[in-house]
Amino acid sequence: MIEFRGARRRLVETLREKGVTDLAVLRAVDIVPRHLFVPGGLVHRAYEDSALPLGDGQTISQPFVHAMSLQLLQLTGAERVLEVGTGSGYQTALLATLAAQVFSVERVPSLLDRAREALRKCGASNVSLMLGDGSIGWREQAPFDAIVVSAAATEVPEPLAEQLAEGGRMVIPIGSAAQQSLTLFHKVSGAIQRRDIFAVKFVPLRGRFGSKKT
């Protein structure tokens, strides 16, 4: 990890220049070894501020998108967080430094296996992983103080809205394959308030309550 310390610091400065101000999020980016979560042939690009392919039709998102998503959640360290779409496990590792407990669901077995190993290597001990349909959430562990979804849906999956605790925040890309917005939902007095943040491009959320074809 020592040989990548300078690269991580440069990535942190890039994110700061782009508007990431949450010091806890910046610290997470500084200490989590992203190179453990990218395919071997792309390790030299691990600290670029860009999305990278993982295989299985999936990607590891741009660090700026990860950082802004986590900043929007306004985590204090005491939360129980649901992540829909473990993917590489990198965002899971970031969440592990920012929250009390992380529950992450992935539908692709090979991705989950690789993520589990990478998370073990970086010492994330407050993470629970499950293979399954993330669009239905993880009802046995609900409610969640925060939910972050790593794939795009045409609307908020109903189970996720139900599993979000009062006062909780959810970040999810909303839109069609052609046009999506990273969107923040805040549950206040049982109602969901919506705020669109910026345009993004994510793979579609699969599953029972996943993205509908548009």
Element (H, E) at 79: none
Q: What amino acid positions are annotated as catalytic residues?
A: 61
Residue 79: partners with Cβ closer than 8 Å, 6 or more residues away: 73, 99, 100, 101, 144, 145, 146
CB–CB of 151/108 below 8 Å?
Answer: no
Listed residue (209, 76, 67) closest to 145, CA to CA: 76
Q: Which two tokens stand for residue 85?
A: 């779409």
d(CA 17, CA 212): 36
